[in-house]
Structure 1
Amino acid sequence: MNRWLRNLILLALMLAASGMAAALRPTHKIAEQGPKVDLEAMIPHAFGDWREEKQSSAQIVDPRQKATIDKIYSQTLSRTYVNGDGYRIMLSIAYGSDQSDSMQVHKPEVCYPAQGFALQNKELGRLVIDKGMIPVTRILTTMGQRNEPVTYWTTIGDQVVQSGVSKKLIEMSYGLTGKIPDGMLVRVSSIDPESNEAYEIQDRFAARMLEALAPEYQRRFTGNLQLK
């Protein structure tokens, strides 16, 4: 085979590979399907025994972290709720319409230490609700005398993920169908020296919040629920 013919074949193969890559590149955002996400409207200001506390200094917001989160996500929501016993829960939700490599989730075990908290413990758990079970992650953070247990979960498209590997596999499966998944991180926390008790209260709070969502919104927050 002469050099000219070999170069021609190589060029043809390169063009074919480039065309295939372009054809397989995800282009359709699944965020454009179904009800539009509006966190402020979707999350009730009151449900069960919980009511939003309009003015609260419980949350610590680092301006640099806020700027990073605003860059990563399409929408964010931060509220503090209080129940009849005076117990306070901090709710933070971040939603991104594009969870490609350029829009990665900002995990609490990363953002809390970035704000000066110490990460004392991390474990996997599950949030049981009427319709099934949501895999969650629990971390224990401290700053001086402030003890803040945290429960959170992350959705990619219609799946809840607990690890970077499962997240990447789900993103790849969407990519093979030409779709770009959206993503959401739901975090609840409280200032409480008793972490086990705090996690139980957080679970009850999250379950009531999810039950209070309009049916068309629930799947956005729960993904495809696992059986109990």
Structure 2
Amino acid sequence: MKAKLVSIILTSYNEEKNIGRTIKDCRVLKKFFPIEIIVADAASKDKTIEIAKRMRVDRILRFPFKRGKGADFWAGGLLATGDYIIQIDTDHQFQPFEIPLFVEALDKGADVVIGTRFSNGKIEKGSITFQNYFGNWVMSAATSIGCGKRITDVMAGFKGFKRNAFLALDLKERHFEYEAETVTKACRMGMNLVQIPITYTKRVGGTSGIRALQDGINVLKAIWKVYFSNLPKYSSLR
């Protein structure tokens, strides 16, 4: 059977210290299945794009201003030609060598796969602040209510999708709250959503763009919006 093409979407903003290593580690996966790498960049002011060009990724989307991570990821996914779409943050805190675990879960019937650091995952000491840990716990609890099932790590920037499922989600949120929109919509639409343990390590360089309080409020709004939306069942769209 022909191997599925895996599209890896890297959203970036000023990640010159991390993007090269992330691309290099993604390239290793060509030994296991065909891949394409798409960089969706939010107007980086450093050498992020220069490095991506030098490393000859398959596609580069460079936006003239910061639109939001959610908007960038959606645009990158629409350009993807793969059977499977993988979202992984460019900061290398999530590990590209674990992408085959997502592909395996998709092969076995999952429509959407989300990585979890907090249910049998591995977290390097000092890689996450208490503020972010607590905020993620609150947002995951709220998402669990919206989903009707326990979600342990809604904000992890490491997810996988069957192409048809990704398109059916029709993501609207432009910033970090799209993570919760993704998971809540998948559940409400009846998609087969699977959670798998992943590894999380310290940042080598650069800074996180998360604004804990504002992003937390926006996440709760996004969950509320999806919960009260009249969404079609995924089975009717296939």
TM-score in terms of structure 2 length: 0.27
Of Structure 1 and Structure 2, the greater helix share is in 2
Larger radius of gyration: 1
- When you count strand as a share of all residues, which structure comes out higher? 1
